[in-house]
Amino acid sequence: MTRTEVPATPREASVVAGLSTLDRFLAVWILVAMAVGLGLGRAVPGLNDALARVEIGGISLPIALGLLIMMYPVLAKVRYDRLDAVTGDRKLMISSLVVNWVLGPAVMFALAWIFLPDLPEYRTGLIVVGLARCIAMVVIWNDLACGDREAAAVLVALNSVFQVLAFGLLGWFYLDLLPGRLGLGDGEHLDISPGGIAVNVAVFLGVPLLAGFLTRRIGERRMGREGYEQRFLPKIGPWALYGLLFTIVVLFALQGRTITSRPLDVARIALPLLVYFAVMWFGAFALGKAIGLAYDRTATLAFTAAGNNFELAIAVAIATFGVTSGQALSGVVGPLIEVPVLVALVHVSLARRRRFTAARPGS
């Protein structure tokens, strides 16, 4: 019995029937949040510097707050007693690791060199973005697309563990070893430790995951599953999107002046990113369908493949190359492109879900 046959149906129906104004016009609110952030970054002198100083251990506290608020409601919705069914799906787990850690960095490396052969700083920044795999916003996109919530939690956790282990090694391979072997010039070196990446993962995944798990355990114990899901979850649900919008405002306020003062550079960085998100999402979606995954897990595979940990990418770029570097600008342009593109892909995913279901009438 697949994930969509019984348990997903009530949730999918409730998502469609219970769309609020915030949900229906999410793309509009995101564009407004981006514009507000960019406007604040330009209009308020010293705002970006003030926000940048509010950090602990290289982690921006305003962005951390927004991401934690964003992830907590979604992770409180996860039915943790169903995770065994996800971890037993070897096709899904192996596919996610291959797409994220073999194909994803290789695709970004190729696109960075194809589109930016004459701009080494921006090229390096893009490659760093490609190495920082999904962790935070992907849970929002997956939820909006009626993906498998439990599968998303497992895949994000799995790829986060690999991120701690593989980020530094792949950074050396794609920025130092491979360019030299291919005769593309001198390589770059990343100044990042596994410990720093582990802290990033612990903050942006561990804290909301633990909070969501404890909330469900205590909530179900006191109210029962039906009461918890029908009375409590609707109250905290909108906070995920509030957190998303707050994060977007802060993120673009941090780099508003830089982005708006260098529009041509932003456009050049944006082109390979657009191709990257399209290739990763459509490729992973096609792979999921080809190996026989149900729609909800196919969508989860696609969004976890296309999403990136922009906070880690920006932190690494700033720590290694400086806050005003081209590498840092590439990291900032990442979410500038990723957010609207993945919102659009949510709609594409839902349209494909209807065709997916029609093609499998017996599922």
Distance CA 202, CA 137 (A): 15
Give the pLDDT of residue 221: 92
Interior CA angle at 148 toward 147 and 149, to 5°? 105
What's the chain's Rg over C-alpha atoms? 20
Global pTM? 0.78
Going from the first residue of the chain to its last (363 residues), give the mean pLDDT of each consecutive group of 10, the final group possibly shorter: 40 47 71 86 75 67 81 83 80 93 95 92 91 80 89 86 83 86 73 68 78 91 91 86 84 74 88 96 95 94 90 75 77 82 90 72 47
Structure tokens at 322: 């400086």
Distance CA 39, CA 34 (A): 8
- Cα→Cα distances 296→72, 73, 124, 134, 246, Å: 21, 19, 34, 17, 28
Give the pLDDT of residue 6: 37
Give the pLDDT of residue 11: 46
Q: Which domains does the chain have, with CATH numbers?
A: 8-359 (1.20.1530.20)
- C-alpha atoms less than 13 angstroms from C-alpha of 61 in its C-beta half-sphere: 7
Cβ neighbours of 337 (radius 10 Å): 19
Give the pLDDT of residue 65: 84
Give the pLDDT of residue 298: 95
Give the pLDDT of residue 157: 84
Distance CA 215, CA 209 (A): 10
Contacts of 185 (CB under 8 A, 6+ apart): 120, 179
Structure tokens at 23: 């949900």
